Amino acid sequence: MEDTYKHKGLRKKLVEEIRKKGIGDERVLSAIEKIPRHFFMDSSFESFAYQDKPFPIGSGQTISQPYTVAYQTELLEVEPKDKVLEIGTGSGYQACVLIEMGARVYTIERYRTLYNKTKKILNKMGYAPKMFYGDGAKGLPSYAPFDKILVTAAASEVPEELLKQLKPGGIMVVPVGTGDTQIMNKIFKNEDGTYNEKSCGYFRFVPLLSNKA
Ligand code: SAH
């Protein structure tokens, strides 16, 4: 795996493209500029790595579109040292963006093959989120509570169990819907345990599935 000047140049362009599409958080943009996205894809597809598009990564799953990664990350308002739970490790790219922003990342993937493959790639790159194989909708009760929770697959409704694992004052970002597109929900947990929700546009995710594979 090599990160050449050409790759770095393509990444700069990608960042400018995402900036034009409305992402203003410089910390998110610099994380994207730093991380070699082509390392997360098979080498024969390298040329696709710096297009602002999702891409298949095996097991019928995808690495999210860079804009979507940036948008979700921005909504999450990540602060250094935040304890963040990600549902849907997939390629691991989103987890690395969170790590670059200083978060302590816990991430869950339900496909054993993807979990294994991604673990190897991240190790090689020197990223070390706490990785779990299992059903993300159940969260990680023994590691809760979390400052932030990010769901990167489409939930049919806001997962109740995850809300419980969010700290008062915390934020959860979750795409909700059963159709072709989902509404991005940003949920604040108030100090008194009540919630405020905000809809933040339409996106397209693979579904959050409940059984392990
Ligand atoms: N965050 C990923 C994008 C992942 S796509 C990235 O940066 O590449 C969504 C991922 O969620 C897929 O890998 C899918 O297998 C996983 N997934 C689906 N249902 C899940 C569940 N119940 N628990 C954990 N992961 C799940």
| Protein residue with least CA distance to atom 14, ligand 1 | 88
Share of the chain above pLDDT 90, in %: 90
Measured from the Cβ of residue 11, the count of other Cβ atoms closer than 10 Å reads 21
pLDDT for 213 equals 60
Ligand 1 atom at minimal distance to the Cα of residue 137: 22
pLDDT for 42 equals 84
Rounded to two decimals, what is the model's pTM? 0.96
Distance, in Å, from the CA atom of 188 to the CA atom of 196, rounded to the nearest integer, reads 5
Do 139 and 208 contact (CB within 8 A), yes or no? no
Domains of the chain: 54-203 (3.40.50.150)
pLDDT for 46 equals 85
pLDDT band at 1 (very low <50, low <70, confident <90, very high): confident
Q: Which residues line ligand 1 (CB under 6 A)?
A: 61-64, 87-88, 90-91, 93-94, 108-111, 114, 135-137, 152-153, 206, 208-210
Interval 111-157: pLDDT, tens: 999 999 999 999 999 999 999 999 999 999 999 999 999 999 999 99
pLDDT for 44 equals 81
- Give SS3 for 185: strand
Interval 19-61: pLDDT, tens: 999 999 999 999 999 999 999 988 888 889 999 999 988 888 8
Phi, psi of 103 (to 5 degrees): -75, 155
Q: How, if at all, do strands 146-151 and 166-176 pair? A: parallel
Closest-CA residue to 2 (of 52, 36, 45, 50): 36
pLDDT for 211 equals 65
DSSP sequence for 60-79: TEEEPPHHHHHHHHHHHT--
E strand or H helix that includes residue 131: strand 130-133
Interval 81-119: pLDDT, tens: 999 999 999 999 999 999 999 999 999 999 999 999 999
pLDDT of 165 over the 70 cut: yes
Catalytic residue among 43, 44, 59, 64: 64
Residue 167 to residues 104, 127, 188, Cα–Cα distance (Å): 15, 25, 10
CA 185 to the chain's CA centroid:
14
Largest CA distance in the chain: 51
| Protein residue with least CA distance to atom 11, ligand 1 | 88
Q: Higher pLDDT residue, 165 or 45?
A: 165
Residue 44 appears among annotated catalytic residues: no
Give the end-to-end CA distance of the chain in Å, rounded to a whole number. 29
Do 38 and 11 contact (CB within 8 A), yes or no? no
